[in-house]
A = this chain, B = another copy of it.
Amino acid sequence: MARKASLSGFPEWLPEERLVELHVLDTLRKTFELNGFSNIETRAVETVSHLLRKGDIDKEVYGVSRLQADDDGARAASAEDGLALHYDLTVPFARYVVENSGHLAFPFRRYQIQKCWRGERPQDGRFREFTQADIDVVGDGVLPFRYDVELALVVVDALSALPIPDFTVRVNNRKLAEGFYRGIGLDDTAGVLRSVDKLEKIGADKVLSLLQAELGATAEQAALALRLASIRTADTSFVEQVRALGVSHPLLDEGLSELEQVIAEASRRAPGRVVADLSIARGLDYYTGTVYETVLNGHESLGSICSGGRYDSLAAKGNRTFPGVGLSIGVTRLVSRILSQNFTAVTRRVPTAVLISLTDDSSWSAAQDIAASLRGRGISAEVAASAEKFGKQIKFADRRGIPFVWFTAADGTHEVKDLRTGAQEPADPATWSPPAADLVPRVLRAESGGV
- Interface positions of A (Cβ within 8 A of B): 3, 6-7, 10-15, 18-19, 22, 33-45, 47-48, 58-68, 70, 75-80, 83-85, 95-96, 99-100, 103-105, 107, 109-110, 115, 117, 119, 129, 144, 146-147, 150, 153, 157, 265, 268-269, 349-352, 364-365, 368, 375, 378-383, 385-386, 399-402, 440
Contacts and interface: CB of A to CB of B under 8 A. Distances in A.
A98 B351 CA distance: 22
29 contacts: A6-B95, A12-B43, A12-B96, A15-B38, A15-B39, A15-B110, A18-B40, A35-B381, A35-B382, A36-B352, A36-B402, A37-B351, A44-B44, A61-B67, A62-B64, A62-B66, A63-B65, A63-B66, A63-B78, A77-B78, A78-B78, A105-B350, A105-B400, A109-B382, A146-B364, A146-B385, A146-B386, A150-B385, A157-B375
A47 B99 CA distance: 34
B105 A85 contact: no
B351 A33 contact: yes
A53 B390 CA distance: 42
Given A35-B380, A39-B22, A77-B78, A103 B385 contact: no
A110 B117 CA distance: 25
Given A33-B351, A35-B380, 18 more contacts: A6-B95, A12-B41, A12-B96, A13-B40, A14-B100, A14-B103, A14-B104, A15-B39, A34-B351, A34-B375, A37-B351, A44-B129, A62-B67, A63-B64, A63-B67, A66-B119, A147-B385, A265-B368
A140 to B, nearest CB: 11
Contacts of A386: 144, 146
